[in-house]
Chain A
Amino acid sequence: MTGPAAVERTVARALLWGGLLSVAVMIAGLTIYAAQGQPHARDVVRVVRNRQAGRAVDVFTSVEDVRRALGHRPIDALAVATLGLLGLLATPVAGVTVAVVSFWRHGDRQYSLIAAAVLAMLCVSLALAGGG
């Protein structure tokens, strides 16, 4: 297999497995939520139609909130689902990171640097978003 084809397969695996694993965690979270018989489950339609009603109860807005909620017992099912969401949002970044390493390992310094530049700009974007 040629260098570019090998890199493409490695990045493909990172993206596909990242997506599948994240979605599996999200499904697990919602399954637990339904099994726990949460009263809010009855209000799911109302919640997504009314942002204020939903935001206070069900929505996490920081990684720290999710981490803290995951430590609760019984387990916070929506924190599990949000963990899966965060995994999904991080999957493209993981794909680019894998590309940096994979191009480097196949001796393609030029594209390893290009991928690293994209990764650096993504980090700047995320930092600006966090600051904003």
Chain B
Amino acid sequence: MSPLEFVVALFATSLVAGAAGAILGLGGGILLIPVLTLFYGVDIRYAMGASIVSVIATSSGAAGAYLRTSLGNVRIGLFLTLATVSGALAGAGLAGVVPVRWLQLLLGVALAYSAFTTLRQLHVEVPETTEADPLALRFGLEGAYYDAPLDREVKYRATRVGRGFAAMFGAGVLSGLLGIGSGAFKVLAMDYFMRLPMKVSTATSNFMIGVTSAATAGVYFARGDIHPMLATPVAVGVLAGAVLGTRLMGRLRNTTVRKAFLPVVGYLAVSMILRGLGLGLP
């Protein structure tokens, strides 16, 4: 493969990863790392460095567009980022103390359960808010956006905020301990615990993943894991893909986004359980 072909292939792959990441609230690493290592033969450390760049590029492109259209909620994002970043700091401090395999197994089982619950509410377009959560009222965890497929303004307010905050802290601890991105857990916590519309969950996750990744990006840079010749086509492709993804998401139903998200949770659950059992998946 010539250098030009390599760069063009990387750009095209990153375009798809960016679009998928923007719609699903993930950084694209879940798609990029296996593709870079398995199909392009890129060294795993460079692939992980490119992945962290892709998370931030997705976040910049997608969160920028989502916040402008009120699909992303900066208040909810910042409030929950408090939990994930403090959890990640705690997790980093616990590294080497807590048995990682048990955690991976626990996380895998929790994800499998989440996949099951997501399956049960697969056809819920906009969750009904039945309880007025005092924390949601206190911190103004609510908003409204115009939903094009429904052709109406959708108003929402978070519920079970305490549980959502605790889940985010847990996701942050695991992120710090295992060195994994936690976009999927953020989306699950907002969708399942806090009963936010799925599109609001993924859009807000896009804002949050950029902030939490920025906390660890310096480590990858200082280690020399971010190669400019790899990271540049990835960043350009992912940013362009993220902007395209945001346009596409405006036309999608919440149920469609949830259906697309389910296989990702399933894959993560299986991957974590296998790793916890000492087996491996890419």
Contact B140 A19, beta carbon cutoff 8 Å: no
> Residue among A16, A20, A84, A92 with the most chain B CB within 10 A?
A92
The B28-52 residues at the A interface (CB cut-off 8 A) are 40-43, 45-46
Contact A111 B75, beta carbon cutoff 8 Å: yes
Instruction: State the CA gap A91–B74 with chains docked (Å).
Output: 15
- What's the minimum C-beta distance from B68 to chain A, rounded to whole angstroms? 4
Q: Is the interface of A mostly helix, strand, loop or mixed?
A: helix
Residue B217 at the A interface, CB < 8 A? yes
Chain B interface: which size bin? 35 or more
Stretch at the interface among B54-62, B257-265, B273-281: B54-62
Q: Which residue of B lies closest to A120 (CB)?
A: B85
Stretch at the interface among B111-119, B120-128, B150-158, B221-229: B221-229
Q: Chain A interface (Cβ within 8 Å of chain B)?
A: 4-5, 7-9, 11-13, 15-20, 22-23, 26-27, 29-30, 33, 41-42, 44-45, 47-51, 54-55, 58-62, 78, 81-82, 84-86, 88-93, 95-96, 99, 110-111, 114-115, 117-118, 121-122, 124-126, 128-130, 132
Instruction: State the CA gap A85–B218 with chains docked (Å).
Output: 11
Total A-B pairs in contact (CB under 8 Å)? 200
Q: List 26 A-B contacts (CB under 8 A).
A: A4-B74, A8-B68, A8-B72, A9-B67, A15-B207, A19-B239, A22-B60, A22-B235, A48-B46, A49-B42, A81-B232, A85-B232, A85-B235, A92-B213, A93-B211, A95-B207, A111-B78, A118-B81, A118-B85, A121-B82, A121-B86, A122-B214, A125-B88, A126-B218, A129-B219, A130-B218
Instruction: State the CA gap A126–B230 with chains docked (Å).
Output: 23
